Amino acid sequence: MASIQFILDIFKLSIKALTERRTRAMLTIIGIAIGPLALVMISSVIDGYGDYVISQIEGLGQNAIILFPESNYRFTQKDLDAIRALPHVKRAEPFYSIQAQVRVGTQTRIIFVYAIPIDVVFEAIKGLEIFKGYTPSDTEYLKALVGYKIAYDDNNNQVYDLGDVITITYIRSSSGRQEIKRASVSIAGILKEFGGAFILSPDTTIFLPLQAGQRILGLSDWSGIFVLVDSSTYVTDVMEKLRQMFGNSATIVSFQSIANIANSIIGAMNFISFSASLSAFAVAVAGVAATMITSVIERTREIGVLKALGFTDFQVLLMILMESVAMSLIGGAIGIALGIVGAHMLASRGFEIRATAQAIMVIKASPKITVTGISRAVLLTIFVGVLGGIFPAYRASKILPAIALRYE
Amino acid sequence: MVQVLRIMLREVVVLEDVVKIYKVGSIVTQALRGVSLKIYEGEFIAIMGPSGSGKTTLLNMIGLLDRPTTGRIYIDGVEVSKLGSREIAKIRNLKIGFVFQFFNLINRLTVLENIEMPLIPRGIPRLERVERAKEALLLAGGELSWLPKKPLQLSGGQQQRVAIARAIVGKPALLLADEPTGNLDRASAKIVIQTFLELNKKGVTIAMVTHDPELANCTQKIYVIRDGMIVGVKEPEKSKCILYE
């Protein structure tokens, strides 16, 4: 009980000591605040965007694998059958894909066109739903299921309705020549807005039955094979078997592995931002130490008086340390508060991803402010106070009272 | 008769052959050369001597603010020469009160906060501290209206009474004063010495360093120190006390 009373008393005395040297303390506090500000602001934005990206990738199907042929290789029906015969492979479907342009009102929009058994898309992407119309069957190769942002413009005005014909403009390479091609399909269904726009954006995609790849788009070779595995736990095993099967002839990716890579990138970014913030904390330690050592020198006589009155070396050490910790806590509180505000401001600007000169995707995610993140910032600021204050406090505790009382 | 009475009295301070040598680089200064003295409970003594004679060093030894190079010091029967800094700080806090020439009050704190300062290391609750601070200030001849003020809002004499209140708030066995009137005008000096006499009447043991014979003559015994040695013990001439002019 007496110890608690003592701690409360010296905390109060510490605050009084800081208010006496207000300007110096404020400048030091500002120096301390930069570290937690940077840490909270940058980390929470990275975490927020990281979570967004991961959730987007994971939403695209955790049990899906896609194979893309290398330039010198063509997938065949034999390959497809071999894949289908692999254990834990639920489905394997070939697809054709192109990047194209469509007119949406007054705008030209960059879109993706997939010719694929469309039901496999619904099986892979959870949350994908039809807003209007229906999914064209495999034989209806002149009909399309279009993404929400193709049927509706940015102001949510409907541009295309069911039964409307939409013209796709794309570039096709054949025999080393590139030619602009046009294809028209009729809209059988419109997808509900999916949201997000990372890696695969259903909102700006036209899905056609598989046959349309050859018959409408005039493509001769499959762009890839889409594989669905029984469960996400088998993805790694199946990928390994596919690697053994195709070697360097195909690139094999899974959304799960992309999510893992994204996780690693986010982890690395977090580490870099944390390291950068640590340098701000290191500068703060030097600032606190400079302020406290000056304070101790100025108060040598006062420290002598305290010792004459019966304060032990440890109590003097604790009192001086309390001042630096108090400064740190104030600086930490200011830094964290500004960091939260800054994170929201930074995140609200959105993050631009430029796929091509025309295709710009802006993703927006809320900063992820967590108890762990805040606690980390608080602990680091306390550490700044302790580290910056420990030497001056130790020095103060070792001042000999008889000498201190003579100090001018 | 005096000797018999002293045997009955408790020895608050005992110094046995205390030597203090300061070394600064190659310069060696012997500030105390084998000082022995005893201060009994309820005594009011003065230590007099010219500048540089070792008065303050002697007071620092009695007050445990410095350690002797050789010799032994007993406070309330406990030999303190070999105690650790923590134990010594505890003895200073519980048994000794200090009054300094320049008051040494903490100017950013109020009078109340200054007075209650020695009670903080003991972990005494605030309400009790306030009561004891009020009691000590009244005992030191101060006024309760000073409590919320800052020291610099008071005169020198008033500040010294606050310093005395701070020194006695912990109810020490021994009050040590180093030139307590050295920074005061004559009127204030009279008030301070009057306060000391009243405290002494109430049983507080006091040792005061001074170079002013008018103050020393108000005490019960005068130790004369020169070149680090006690060269004599004088009976004060009460008629020459500052209060009898």
Give the mean pLDDT per block of 10 residues along chain B (245 residues). 59 94 89 93 93 91 93 91 90 93 92 96 93 94 94 93 94 92 87 90 92 91 94 88 76
Which string of b and e fits B190-201 if b means at least 16 CB within 10 Å? bbbbebbbebbe
pLDDT of residue A276: 85
* Claim to verify: residue A218 and residue A309 sit in the same structural domain: no
pLDDT of residue A362: 65
**Other beta carbons less than 10 A from residue A345's beta carbon:** 12
Among A72-81, A222-231, A349-358, A384-393, the range scoring the smallest mean pLDDT is A349-358
- Quick one: DSSP state of residue B151? G
- Write out the residue range of the structural domain in which residue A351 sits: 11-57+269-404
* Claim to verify: residue A217 and residue A332 sit in the same structural domain: no
pLDDT of residue A262: 77
Backbone angles phi, psi at A132, to 5 degrees: -145, 150
Tokens, residue A78: 């034999």
Question: pLDDT averaged over chain A?
Answer: 88
Q: Indicate whether A282 belongs to any domain.
A: yes
Q: Residue A168: enclosing H or E segment and its boundaries?
A: strand A165-174
Tell me what the mean pLDDT of segment A20-29 comes to: 90
* Claim to verify: residue A375 and residue A347 sit in the same structural domain: yes
Q: Indicate whether A37 belongs to any domain.
A: yes
3 state SS of B244: helix
Partner residue opposite A16 with nearest CB, options B90, B109, B166: B109
Q: What is the pLDDT of residues B138-157, one digit of tens each?
A: 989 899 999 999 999 999 99
Residue count of chain A? 408
- Output the CA–CA distances (angstroms, integers) from residue B112 to A48, B75, B133, in the order listed: 52, 29, 7
Question: pLDDT exceeding 70 applies to what percent of chain A?
Answer: 95
Residues 6+ apart with CB under 8 A from B243: B190, B193, B194, B197, B218
Q: Residue A37: enclosing H or E segment and its boundaries?
A: helix A22-59
pLDDT of residue A196: 60
Q: Which residues of A touch B89 (CB under 8 A)?
A: 307, 310-313, 315
* Claim to verify: residue A75 and residue A223 sit in the same structural domain: yes
Q: Which residues of A touch B159 (CB under 8 A)?
A: none
Could you tell me whether strands A89-104 and A107-115 are parallel, antiparallel, or unpaired per DSSP bridges? antiparallel
Mutate to test the interface with B, among A405, A407, A408 (most CBs of B within 10 A): A405
* Claim to verify: residue A78 and residue A139 sit in the same structural domain: yes
* Claim to verify: residue A222 and residue A204 sit in the same structural domain: yes
* Claim to verify: residue A71 and residue A51 sit in the same structural domain: no
- Output the CA–CA distances (angstroms, integers) from residue A20 to A295, A322, A329, in the order listed: 11, 15, 18
pLDDT of residue A244: 92
Residue A136 is which amino acid?
A: P
d(CA A9, CA B125): 9
Helix, strand, coil fractions of chain B, as percent rounded to 5: 40, 30, 35
* Claim to verify: residue A204 and residue A275 sit in the same structural domain: no
Q: Indicate whether A187 belongs to any domain.
A: yes
Q: Which residues of B touch A304 (CB under 8 A)?
A: 104
Q: How confident is the model at residue A358 (pLDDT cuts 50, 70, 90)?
A: very low
**In terms of Cα–Cα distance, which of B12, B63, B61, B7 is closest to B34?**
B61
Among A187-196, A325-334, B57-66, the range scoring the smallest mean pLDDT is A187-196
* Claim to verify: residue A166 and residue A202 sit in the same structural domain: yes
d(CA A95, CA A222): 6
Does the CB of A230 have a partner CB in chain B at under 8 Å?
A: no
Does the CB of A22 have a partner CB in chain B at under 8 Å?
A: no
Which ipTM was obtained for this model? 0.90
pLDDT of residue A138: 87
pLDDT of residue A66 exceeding 70: yes
Do the Cβ atoms of A207 and A148 come closer than 8 Å?
Answer: no
pLDDT of residue A1 exceeding 70: no
Q: Tell me the domains of chain B and their CATH numbers.
A: 41-67+84-244 (3.40.50.300)
* Claim to verify: residue A102 and residue A139 sit in the same structural domain: yes
pTM here is 0.74
Do the Cβ atoms of A208 and A114 come closer than 8 Å?
Answer: yes
Among A219-228, A263-272, B68-77, B219-228, the range scoring the smallest mean pLDDT is A263-272
* Claim to verify: residue A77 and residue A45 sit in the same structural domain: no
* Claim to verify: residue A219 and residue A75 sit in the same structural domain: yes
d(CA B245, CA B238): 10
Q: Indicate whether A264 belongs to any domain.
A: no
Q: Indicate whether A235 belongs to any domain.
A: no
How close does chain B come to A26, measured CA to CA in Å?
A: 18
d(CA A17, CA A11): 10
pLDDT of residue A354: 59
Instruction: Provide the β-strand partners of residue A95.
Output: A224
Partner residue opposite A311 with nearest CB, options B65, B89, B98: B89
Among A227-241, A250-264, B226-240, the range scoring the smallest mean pLDDT is A250-264
Q: Quick check: A309 and B92 CB within 8 A? A: yes
**In terms of Cα–Cα distance, which of B219, B215, B225, B220 is closest to B181?**
B215
Q: Quick check: B86 and A313 CB within 8 A? A: yes
Q: Quick check: B118 and A310 CB within 8 A? A: yes
- Structurally, how many domains does chain A consist of? 2
End position of a domain, from candidates A214, A230, A246: A230
Q: Indicate whether A247 belongs to any domain.
A: no
pLDDT of residue B245: 64
Do the Cβ atoms of B121 and A311 come closer than 8 Å?
Answer: yes
d(CA A347, CA A341): 10
Q: Indicate whether A302 belongs to any domain.
A: yes
Residue count of chain B? 245
Tell me what the mean pLDDT of segment A302-313 comes to: 93
Does the CB of A7 have a partner CB in chain B at under 8 Å?
A: no
User: Tokens 């001074």, residue?
Assistant: B210
Taken in order B194, B196, B197, B201, the sign of the CA dihedral is positive
Backbone angles phi, psi at A363, to 5 degrees: -110, 145
d(CA A405, CA A300): 8
Residues 6+ apart with CB under 8 A from B160: B99, B103, B180, B181, B183, B184, B188, B192
- Output the CA–CA distances (angstroms, integers) from residue B18 to A404, B21, B190, B209, B226, in the order listed: 22, 10, 33, 17, 15
Q: Indicate whether A241 belongs to any domain.
A: no
